[in-house]
């Protein structure tokens, strides 16, 4: 009998305060005329069984993208780990796969590469590594780690990278495409992203990194 394929719920983390963006909700910012979260949805959706959007404001705006919107159960903007915990609490999947709302070029093979490393190493958590540094927000987390998440958050800790490292993660090597983890935190970075959308050497133009979602009415 073939082993059962693990189920995966994707969660797009959009629950932060966006201080460096002057408080503007990054997932809703327009990039070439489309909300940034639409790029993430277009690439993440085909890789997982379902997608949740983790948000703590503008819930109705996020709801128009046709995916369930969840909020943190730990208040006061407790950071990405709180959104990850909420995703586990709101799903029945074996794993959650987390990605940020402000990285429009999520790798199109993020889920299979992370799952391969997790299964190969017998780990409960996998995280992306771009060849230079850990990318802790791009993580595949087994639901059995929920108690460890909640204990960490309830202790007052908020640093995601520290918690990820404590779990001894399996690391998926993405040194072949470090640009995929470019995230947009400031108006200047948004301008940079806009400038590169049509650059053939930029991941935005490669099928490996997903393609811009079609506008309504596009052929």
Domain boundaries, the chain: 8-209
Domain 8-209: state its class.
alpha beta
* Beta-carbon count within 10 A of 200 CB: 7
pLDDT of residue 18: 57
Quote the pLDDT of residue 21: 58
pTM of the model: 0.87
Residues 142/92, Cβ–Cβ less than 8 Å: no
Quote the tokens at residue 89. 């609490």
pLDDT at 41: 96
At 109 the pLDDT is: 97
pLDDT at 133: 95
- What pLDDT does residue 185 have? 80
Distances (CA, A) of 11 to 130, 146, 211: 20, 15, 19
Rounded to whole angstroms, the Cα distance separating 116 from 121 reads 9
Token pair 């189920």 in the structure block, residue: 7
- How confident is the model over 94-128, as pLDDT tens digits? 999 999 999 988 999 999 999 999 999 999 999 99
Question: Is-contact 162 185, C-beta < 8 A?
Answer: no
Which ranges of the chain have pLDDT less than 50? 199-219
pLDDT score recorded for residue 195? 79
Report the pLDDT value the prediction gives residue 20, as an integer from 0 to 100: 56
Q: What is the pLDDT of residue 144?
A: 98
């Amino acid at each position: 009998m073939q082993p059962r394929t693990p189920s995966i719920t994707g969660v797009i983390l959009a629950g932060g305060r966006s201080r460096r963006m002057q408080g503007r909700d990054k997932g809703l910012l327009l990039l070439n005329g489309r909300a940034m979260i639409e790029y993430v949805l277009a690439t993440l959706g085909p890789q997982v069984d379902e997608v949740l959007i983790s948000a703590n404001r503008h819930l109705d705006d996020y709801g128009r993208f046709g995916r369930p919107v969840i909020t943190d159960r730990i208040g006061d903007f407790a950071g990405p780990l709180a959104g990850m915990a909420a995703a586990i609490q709101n799903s029945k999947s074996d794993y959650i796969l987390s990605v940020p709302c402000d990285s429009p070029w999520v790798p199109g093979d993020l889920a299979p590469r992370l799952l391969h490393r997790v299964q190969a190493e017998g780990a409960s958590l996998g995280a992306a590594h771009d060849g230079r540094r850990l990318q802790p927000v791009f993580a595949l987390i087994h639901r059995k780690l929920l108690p460890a998440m909640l204990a960490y958050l309830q202790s007052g800790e908020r640093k995601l990278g520290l918690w990820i490292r404590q779990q001894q993660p399996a690391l998926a090597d993405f040194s072949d495409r470090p640009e995929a983890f470019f995230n947009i935190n400031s108006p200047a970075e948004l301008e940079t992203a806009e400038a590169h959308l049509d650059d053939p050497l930029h991941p935005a133009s490669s099928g490996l990194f997903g393609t811009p979602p079609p506008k309504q009415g596009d052929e």
